[in-house]
Amino acid sequence: MAPELIRVLIADDHPIVRQGLEILINSQPDMRLVGQAADGNEALVLTKESKPDVVVMDLKMPVKNGLSAIEEIKKSDPETRVLVLTSFPDDAMVISAIQLGANGVMLKDSTPEQLLNAIRDVARGHSPLHPSVAHKLMLEIQRSAAAAPIDPMLTDREIDVLKCMAQGLSNREIAFKLSISTRTVTTHVRNILDKLRLDNRTKAALYAVEHEIVKK
């Protein structure tokens, strides 16, 4: 049986980067490139037209940058998965991208295998982060004046869901593991983020690791 194709859209203002990504993605039996965008506006239009499984998004582009594109894509369809591909792990835009809903962040100096695996992980609902980006995000959370309380009064079921989030499981995978509906998982995730005063699943997963909830 042929593998299920992951439909990928790339957005980068450098033609040579787009060409390299095109060759790399189309060389994989489980991936197909469905569009190329040179700026954020094109990324928005092509995302609506081609409905990709994963958008590989550069952050610094003309006309409309990657941050604005991510924000509008997520508002239009929150289920669209976005993998940020950047050369600047220390740029504040990386944290902003995660806050706006980016599902993962990789660096342009990653190996082809690392990038391909990250695309597959994002397509499965996981949140891959380059180690340097994960470190920066952890420091940002620790420094944040609005850090969540140590005892956020999560219910036992919410803690179960948070542990699964820390393992990188998607809502569907969490539902299967805990024998509950996907809609119930979505409600628990929303409640967890509200109680922890966090913006997205990646930060919630890092919170779980930081406070050793995954070990309880």
More confident residue, 4 or 57: 57
* Two structure tokens written together for 174: 């969490």
The answer on 107 and 25 residing in a single domain is yes
Q: In what order do the strands lie in the sheet with 6-11?
A: 31-37, 6-11, 54-57, 81-86, 104-107
At 3 the pLDDT is: 59
- Counting residues of the chain whose pLDDT is more than 70, the rounded percentage is 90
The answer on 126 and 31 residing in a single domain is yes
Q: Is residue 123 part of a domain?
A: yes
Residue 162 structural domain: 147-215
The answer on 124 and 96 residing in a single domain is yes
At 143 the pLDDT is: 62
Question: In the chain, how many domains are there?
Answer: 2
Q: Is residue 31 part of a domain?
A: yes
The answer on 151 and 120 residing in a single domain is no
Q: Is residue 135 part of a domain?
A: yes
- Give yes or no for residue 149 having a pLDDT over 70: no
Give the type of residue at 60. Answer: K
The answer on 125 and 55 residing in a single domain is yes
Q: Is residue 115 part of a domain?
A: yes
At 142 the pLDDT is: 61
pLDDT tens profile 65-102: 999 999 999 989 988 999 999 998 777 788 888 888 89
Q: Is residue 1 part of a domain?
A: no
The answer on 41 and 81 residing in a single domain is yes
Q: Is residue 211 part of a domain?
A: yes
At 166 the pLDDT is: 82
Domain containing residue 210: CATH number: 1.10.10.10
Q: Is residue 196 part of a domain?
A: yes
Tell which of 140, 168, 183 closes a domain.
140
* Two structure tokens written together for 62: 């003309």
The answer on 131 and 64 residing in a single domain is yes
Tell which of 88, 110, 140 closes a domain.
140
Summarize the confidence of residues 118-125 as an average pLDDT. Answer: 94
The answer on 116 and 29 residing in a single domain is yes
The answer on 88 and 25 residing in a single domain is yes
Tell which of 79, 112, 140 closes a domain.
140
Domain containing residue 108: CATH number: 3.40.50.2300
Average per-residue pLDDT for the chain: 87
Give the type of residue at 120. Answer: R
The answer on 85 and 27 residing in a single domain is yes
Q: Is residue 118 part of a domain?
A: yes
The answer on 151 and 107 residing in a single domain is no
Residue 145 binned pLDDT confidence (cut-offs 50, 70, 90): very low
Rounded to a whole number, what is the distance in angstroms from the first to the last CA of the chain? 40
- Give yes or no for residue 110 having a pLDDT over 70: yes
pLDDT tens profile 18-29: 999 999 999 999
The answer on 112 and 27 residing in a single domain is yes
* Two structure tokens written together for 105: 């962040």
pTM of the shown model: 0.66
